[in-house]
């Protein structure tokens, strides 16, 4: 067969002047190569645009994390479509990485297991810790990217010599709580360009660029729990749910709850207390006995939090800190002792075991840990 | 696309745009193009022209075969676990069963026989075995499969997805035992969006797409005249040059495979070379994930594949390798390189040079 019969040789010559294999060069003058993790939302879309504006060579990647049913969340096919379309609009390459197996192993299974043991897990933190800033960051390094970029609302401070995670400029959107686990080494390979902007500014930038994600609503919920089925059915299928007996501090039976595995310390809704007049909260969950102790606001308060699995931005911190116990909750004054245990300046509501507690000085993250109970 | 296919389709995109089902002069010209293509396809496949049904592609042809035959006969279907999803999913949808394959990717004939037995479940009316596997390249022995069917379920029909196979085997001879055969235009230099289900005389199937009754009431919908004309031209050319192409491309594939095996430690072919088609080279590379490798290869203009992609574009773990007993972590390093009628030696040289560099970087 003659190569020219189909014009293939001519086409080959037009595409490639030489057969020797050398990688394509990046745009002249590109300052660095960055891989942008794109969820299909407005924040990561603008993050990619900002990297381009600063003359970096930008490649987009969307992670397929969850193979089961979902209604929105970070890994729906329509979100991948949006991320890909934004990349097309920006003129950058886009890839999809399949981390469904890692997500199931390191996020979903621990989430289910935590509920089985009466803990209240934070799957977004697990995903950041084990997927986005572990396997993805590792792959970005191996692929020769200088930095991994995400659309998180945080900043990296370099004041004082080291690198520290800092709250985003838009305090209402700050995501430092879910990223407390990032080490100083990790921060050296990361960049969060949207952390300097307010959300309305980001939407405006996206609209100016004509990006289809400019007015897209934010995803709030856990991406693998559908609105239709809910957490209850998800867990019921995987671990089975068991009714709980509600008792007061004296051990007197005062009501029931449909599933002990779904009760979180601090919870008020969903507890059938037979019309008790004052506000009552779950103050303790005994999963083995399928018993939940309820009490008033004063009984819910505790002087401190017992903590495990600490992560420090630099060296372990001892002394006065501000401590935050939920993604957008207030940071309250507290004291960390030499063992890393936390005592509040004023008693605070108990923190459900399994939740993260993150320590700050000003806007800077000092570290964080996982709640394992309360101090007395 | 093959230039002959582009040439064949262009008049039906530019001037001869009439609906071939019409009665006027222009419609008759369109109709003649379809009838010409039907004869070319029938000749190339060794089927009767009346049995050639044009579809929107291989997936529709596979669906029509599985669902159409089982619906018409009130039976279910059976296929090896290594089939393309265009067969696996319809088989699953009709409550069908899977047959195992051996470590080399070939159908386990004893297991096939067991699955055809009356006590294995609802009666099987259709067995679907792909002629050449799209991932591993393994060539099926349809003669042996037909023999098992004849002995254990003589009423059952044999369908073969020949979407890959049409390029790499003497299709009319190899598909002789098959009662139905699927093709997809874009796999042999034709356009996307057009395919064929070839059916032997006497086979009954229920149409799955109802409407104007085109294709002898077996597949309704206005004909894709340009696509059908192009498919016919491409298949006609393939029919003429296939044996020459198999030799030329087989040599290139050997050069590619041997070059990579020599340059990369911890690299192996998934199946024996003598059992696979000339143009499909699948390797397992230790210590890397193909998903990452493809990102690096992209920079070298080496366009390869891992396994299958899902709707999001993410690479899915290979069900073919899983069925062959390859561990999941090893399958993550599977690389599929396809050669075709237009592959040139310089492309092989480039791939043999680039792939080891990229593997090295990832390790």
Q: Considering only CB atoms, which chain B residues are within 8 Å of A1? A: 241, 244-245, 248
Whether A6 is covered by a domain: the verdict is no
pLDDT, residue B116, reads: 97
Q: Choose the mutation target among B313, B344, B348 for the interface with A, i.e. most A CBs under 10 Å.
A: B313
* Cβ contact B313–A143 (<8 Å): no
Q: Is the CB of residue A14 less than 8 Å away from at least one CB of chain B? A: no
pLDDT of residue A280: 87
Average pLDDT for residues A188-210, to the nearest whole number? 95
By the CB < 8 Å criterion, does A250 face chain B? no
Q: Cβ(B99)–Cβ(B80) under 8 Å?
A: yes
Across all residues in chain A, what is the average pLDDT? 88
Q: Is the pLDDT of residue A3 over 50?
A: no
Q: Are residues A50 and A71 in the same domain?
A: yes
**Residue B197: beta bridge partners?**
B53, B182
Question: Distance between CA B101 and CA B115 in Å, rounded?
Answer: 13
Residues A74-129 have pLDDT tens digits of: 447 788 899 999 999 999 999 999 999 999 999 999 999 999 999 999 999 999 99
Average pLDDT over residues B267-271: 95
User: Percent of chain B at pLDDT above 90?
Assistant: 91
Within this chain, do residues A197 and A48 fall inside the same structural domain, yes or no?
yes
A309, A289: one domain:
no
Residue-range definition of the domain harbouring residue A325: 301-375
Q: Where are the beta strands (DSSP E) in chain B?
A: 52-55, 76-80, 97-99, 124-128, 157-161, 180-184, 195-199, 267-269, 280-285, 308-309, 315-316, 334-338
Whether chain B has a CB inside 8 Å of the CB on A80: the answer is yes
Would you state the pLDDT for residue A27? 63
Say what the pLDDT of residue A297 is.
Answer: 87
Q: Which residues of A are catalytic?
A: 127, 223
Are A51 and A196 in the same domain? Answer: yes
Query: How many structural domains does chain A have?
Result: 3
The answer on A203 and A90 residing in a single domain is yes
Inspect the interface and report whether the beta carbons of A24 and B299 lie closer than 8 Å.
yes
- Say what percent of chain A tops pLDDT 90: 68
Structure tokens belonging to residue B68: 């159409």
Per-residue pLDDT of B160-210, as tens digits, reads: 999 999 999 999 999 999 999 999 999 999 999 999 999 999 999 999 999
Q: Which helix (H) or strand (E) holds A346?
A: strand A342-349
Hey, how many other C-beta atoms are within 10 angstroms of the C-beta on A351? Answer: 27
**Looking at domain B242-362, which of 3.90.1150.10, 3.40.50.300, 3.30.565.10, 3.40.50.800 is its CATH number?**
3.90.1150.10
Decide if pLDDT at A370 tops 80: yes
At residue B315, φ and ψ (nearest 5 deg) are -75, 130
The predicted model gives B98-127 an average pLDDT of 96
CATH node for B3-238: 3.40.640.10
Over residues A338-343, the mean pLDDT reads: 94
Q: What is the pLDDT of residue A4?
A: 45
In a domain, A221, yes or no: no
Residue range B85-108, pLDDT digits in tens = 999 999 999 999 999 999 999 999
Q: Is A250 within the bounds of a domain?
A: yes
A266 and A367 inside one domain: no
Q: Which of B4, B310, B342, B358 is catalytic?
A: B310
Q: A2, A11, A16, A23: best mutation site toward chain B, by most B Cβ within 10 Å?
A: A23
Q: Which residue has the higher pLDDT, B66 or A223?
A: B66
Lowest mean pLDDT among A222-236, B212-226, B234-248, B281-295: A222-236
Reading the block at residue A142, the tokens are: 């191996």
| Helices (H), ranges, chain A | 8-15, 42-53, 77-90, 100-103, 109-116, 123-127, 137-142, 184-188, 199-208, 230-239, 297-300
Partner residue opposite A143 with nearest CB, options B3, B248, B295: B295
Q: Which residues of A touch B341 (CB under 8 A)?
A: 6
Which CATH number does the domain housing residue A267 bear? 2.30.30
Q: Which one of A173-182, A238-247, A281-290 scores highest in mean pLDDT?
A: A173-182
**How close B24 comes to chain A (CA, Å)?**
36
DSSP 3-state assignment of A206? Answer: helix
Nearest CA distance, B363 vs chain A (angstrom): 8
Q: Is residue A45 part of a domain?
A: yes
Identify the CA nearest to B228 among candidates B71, B55, B363. Answer: B55
Average confidence (pLDDT) over B211-217: 95
pLDDT in tens, B142-155: 999 999 999 999 99
Residue A10 has pLDDT above 70, yes or no: no
Residue with tokens 């949808």, as numbered in its chain: B93
| Distance between CA atoms of residues A362 and A159, nearest Å | 13
């Amino acid at each position: 067969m003659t190569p020219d019969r189909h014009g293939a040789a001519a086409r080959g010559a037009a595409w490639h002047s030489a057969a020797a294999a050398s990688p394509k060069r990046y745009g002249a003058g590109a300052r660095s190569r960055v891989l942008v993790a794109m969820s299909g939302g407005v924040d990561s879309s603008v993050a990619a645009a900002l990297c381009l504006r600063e003359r970096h060579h930008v490649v987009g990647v969307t992670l397929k994390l969850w193979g089961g049913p979902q209604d929105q969340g970070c890994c729906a096919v329509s979100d991948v479509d949006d991320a890909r379309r934004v990349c097309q609009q920006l003129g950058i390459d886009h890839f999809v990485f399949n981390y469904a197996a890692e997500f199931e192993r390191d996020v979903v299974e621990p989430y289910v297991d935590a509920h089985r043991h009466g803990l209240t897990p934070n799957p977004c933190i697990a995903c950041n810790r084990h997927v986005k800033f572990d396997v993805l960051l590792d792959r970005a390094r191996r692929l020769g990217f200088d930095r991994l970029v995400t659309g998180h609302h945080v900043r990296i401070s370099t004041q004082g010599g080291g690198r520290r995670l800092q709250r985003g400029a838009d305090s209402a959107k700050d995501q430092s709580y879910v990223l407390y686990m990032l080490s100083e080494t990790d921060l050296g390979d990361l960049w969060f360009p949207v952390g300097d902007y307010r959300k309305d500014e980001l939407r405006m930038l996206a609209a100016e660029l004509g990006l289809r994600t400019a007015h897209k609503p934010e995803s709030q919920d856990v991406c693998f729990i559908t609105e239709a089925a809910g957490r209850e059915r998800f867990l019921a299928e995987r671990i089975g749910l068991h009714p709980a007996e509600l008792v007061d501090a004296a051990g007197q039976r005062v009501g029931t709850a449909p599933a002990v595995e779904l009760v979180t310390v601090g919870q008020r809704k969903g507890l059938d207390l037979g019309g008790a007049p004052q506000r009552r909260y779950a103050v303790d969950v005994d999963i083995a006995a399928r018993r939940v102790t309820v009490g008033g606001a004063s009984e819910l308060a505790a002087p401190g939090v017992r903590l495990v699995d600490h992560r420090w931005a630099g060296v372990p911190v001892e002394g006065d800190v501000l401590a935050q116990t939920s993604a957008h909750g207030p940071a309250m004054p507290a004291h960390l002792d030499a063992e890393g245990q936390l005592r509040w300046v004023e008693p605070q509501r108990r923190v459900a075991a399994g939740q993260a507690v993150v320590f700050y000085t000003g806007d800077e993250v000092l570290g964080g840990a996982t709640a394992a109970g309360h101090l007395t | 696309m093959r230039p002959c296919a582009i040439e064949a389709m262009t008049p039906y995109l530019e001037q001869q745009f009439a609906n071939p089902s019409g009665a006027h002069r222009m419609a008759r010209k369109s109709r003649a193009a379809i009838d010409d293509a039907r004869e070319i396809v029938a000749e190339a496949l060794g089927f009767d022209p009346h049995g050639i049904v044009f579809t929107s592609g291989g997936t529709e042809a596979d669906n029509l075969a599985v669902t159409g035959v089982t619906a018409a006969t009130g039976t279910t279907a059976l296929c090896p676990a290594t089939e393309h999803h265009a067969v696996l999913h319809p088989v699953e949808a009709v409550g069908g069963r899977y047959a195992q394959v051996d470590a080399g990717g070939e159908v386990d004939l004893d297991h096939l026989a067991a699955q055809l037995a009356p006590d294995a479940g609802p009666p099987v009316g259709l067995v679907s075995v792909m002629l050449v596997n799209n991932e591993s390249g393994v060539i099926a022995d349809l003669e042996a499969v037909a023999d098992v069917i004849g002995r254990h379920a003589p009423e059952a029909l044999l369908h073969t997805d020949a979407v890959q196979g049409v390029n790499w085997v003497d299709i009319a001879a190899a598909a002789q035992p098959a009662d139905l055969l699927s093709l997809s235009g874009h796999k042999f230099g034709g356009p996307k969006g057009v395919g064929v289900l070839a059916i032997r005389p006497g086979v009954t199937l229920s149409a799955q797409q109802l409407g104007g009754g085109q294709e002898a009431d077996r597949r309704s919908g206005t004909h894709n005249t340009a696509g059908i004309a192009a498919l016919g031209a491409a298949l006609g050319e393939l029919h003429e040059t296939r044996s020459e192409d198999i030799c030329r491309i087989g040599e290139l594939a050997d050069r590619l495979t041997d070059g990579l095996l020599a340059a990369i430690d911890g690299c192996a072919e998934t199946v024996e070379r003598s059992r696979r088609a000339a143009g499909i080279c699948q390797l397992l590379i230790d210590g890397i994930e193909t998903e990452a490798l493809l990102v690096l290869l992209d920079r070298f203009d080496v366009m390869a594949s891992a396994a299958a992609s899902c709707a999001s574009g993410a690479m899915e773990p290979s069900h073919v390798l899983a069925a062959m007993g390859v561990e999941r972590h090893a399958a993550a390093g599977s690389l599929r390189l396809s050669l075709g009628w237009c592959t040139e030696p310089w492309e092989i040289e480039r791939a043999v040079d680039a792939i080891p560099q990229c593997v090295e970087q990832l390790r």
